[in-house]
A and B are shown apart, each in its own frame.
Chain A
């Protein structure tokens, strides 16, 4: 099976976007397994995965068969842009030190403390609290993955993008689960901000292109899909300039605060 450059982009974007969400869900599943029971934790995660598969299958198929492709591209593109810009904005603020980096180890400890405070089930009984926490976490994080897979699967020029989007998400799930099983600890060394930044860039670029296609924009270049590369380069440059500007603002503020404390 030969994939085009755009489809490879979809695989990569779906992979990284899903990896970020899976790492977050994994932290909670691990915390539930360690403090409550592995049975309830894994059953909760499995039940959530099944729910997500149904959501993707039902919504994906019905969206494609009911909504005209131009409208779908516009809506999906606009939503991808909003998701992507939210991630891009957050990671730019983190790179500039204006927002604290996400700490998986601290989140893990917080989750463990909360779970230990809950009453434990009698021996042999099913731990419904552990199941519910694991289910909720995997479902919420997984909904974002499902949205990304749905968007990439339905928003492209042809319908062959379903497979690349699913391959990307499935590969991320496998990798995170494997890493988790091997390490048996929260995945702290995952460069979460770099992943969010890269995925944010790709979501905004693909979103801009598809929303534009839906509106009837005539993109420069032949084939027009090549404009996606131009958009990725353009948004990267803008983000780089924004990080430089915000870092200098942060430095100036830190220096001013230091001066105030020494006076």
Chain B
């Protein structure tokens, strides 16, 4: 069990190095799920791309401001 916990913690640390990137991606996925459920599956693809590009931009912007 300890090994499982250590593996989960390692994965979390690895993915959460940049929290904005992780939270932004998860928020985009949730938004997309809602859009598809509401019947907008045909618009979801291009919107998904735009959202992910925006997440990348804001994550890099946060890094620039931090420095």
A-side contacts of B29, CB under 8 Å? 78, 211, 215
B-side contacts of A231, CB under 8 Å? 49
CB-based contact A212/B67 at 8 Å = no
B-side contacts of A235, CB under 8 Å? 49, 52-53
Task: For the complex formed, measure the closest distance between the CB of A263 and the CB atoms of chain B, giving whole angstroms.
Answer: 22
Give residues 4-38 of B contacting A (CB, 8 Å): 14-15, 17-18, 21-22, 25-26, 29, 32-33, 36
CB-based contact A81/B52 at 8 Å = yes
Give Cα distance in the complex from A196 to B21, angstroms.
Answer: 17
CB-based contact A218/B44 at 8 Å = yes
> Which of these, B21, B25, B64, contacts A249 with CB under 8 Å?
B64
> Which of these, B25, B42, B45, B60, contacts A81 with CB under 8 Å?
B25
With A81-B52, A89-B21, A98-B64 in contact, do A242 and B57 touch (Cβ < 8 Å)? yes
Task: For the complex formed, measure the closest distance between the CB of A10 and the CB atoms of chain B, giving whole angstroms.
Answer: 20
Main secondary structure of the interface of B (DSSP, over half): helix
How many chain A residues sit at the interface, stated as a range, is: 20 to 34
Q: Answer whether residue A85 sits at the interface, using C-beta atoms and an 8 A cutoff.
A: yes
Question: How many residues on B have C-beta within 8 angstroms of the other chain's C-beta atoms?
Answer: 29
Q: Which residue of B lies closest to A140 (CB)?
A: B10
With A93-B60, A98-B63, A215-B44 in contact, do A82 and B15 touch (Cβ < 8 Å)? yes
CB-based contact A219/B64 at 8 Å = no
Q: Answer whether residue A35 sits at the interface, using C-beta atoms and an 8 A cutoff.
A: no
- Further 7 A-B residue pairs, CB within 8 A, beyond A217-B41, A218-B45: A85-B56, A86-B15, A89-B18, A93-B60, A211-B29, A215-B33, A218-B42
Q: List 23 A-B contacts (CB under 8 A).
A: A81-B25, A81-B52, A82-B21, A82-B22, A83-B15, A85-B55, A86-B17, A89-B56, A89-B60, A93-B60, A98-B63, A212-B48, A215-B29, A215-B32, A215-B33, A216-B36, A216-B41, A218-B41, A218-B45, A220-B46, A238-B53, A239-B56, A246-B64
